[in-house]
Amino acid sequence: MNSNADKKHRWAVVLAGGDGKRLRELTLRIAGDSRPKQFCPLFGGKTLLAQTCERIAPLFNEEQTMFVLTRAHDIFYREQLARVHDRRKVIQPENRGTAVAMALCLEIVYRRDADALIAFLPSDHHFLNASAFRNSLEYGLEVTTQHPQSVLVLGAEAQYPEAEYGWIQPGGPLTGTPFHPLQRVTRFWEKPTPEHARILQQHGCLWNTFVTVGSAGAFRKLFLATIPQLMDSLMTCLTEDQLQDLYDETPPVDFSRAVLSQAPERLVVLRDEKSGWMDLGSPRRVMEAIALSGTPAPRLVLNAPCAHESSPLSVVA
CATH number at residue 141: 3.90.550.10
pLDDT band at 3 (very low <50, low <70, confident <90, very high): very low
Nearest to 212 by CA among 306, 82, 117, 94: 117
Strand 206-215 vs strand 166-177: parallel, antiparallel, or unpaired?
Answer: antiparallel
pLDDT of 296 above 90: no
For position 34, what pLDDT does the model report?
87
> Cβ distance 165 to 206 under 8 Å?
no
In a domain, 29, yes or no: yes
Half-sphere exposure of 119 (CA within 13 A, CB side): 30
For position 20, what pLDDT does the model report?
85
In a domain, 20, yes or no: yes
In a domain, 129, yes or no: yes
Q: What is the dihedral of CA 182, 187, 193, 196, to 10 degrees?
A: -70
> Cβ distance 275 to 179 under 8 Å?
no
pLDDT in tens, 124-182: 999 999 999 999 999 999 999 889 999 999 999 999 999 999 999 999 998 766 667 89
* Average pLDDT of the residues in 273-284: 90
In a domain, 60, yes or no: yes
Overall number of domains in the chain: 1
Query: pTM for the complete prediction?
Result: 0.91
Domain that holds residue 309: 10-147+211-252+277-316
- Helix (H) / strand (E) element for 46: namely strand 46-47
pLDDT band at 312 (very low <50, low <70, confident <90, very high): very low
* Average pLDDT of the residues in 16-31: 90
Exposed, middle or buried: residue 257 (CB in 10 Å: 0-12, 13-18, 19+)?
middle
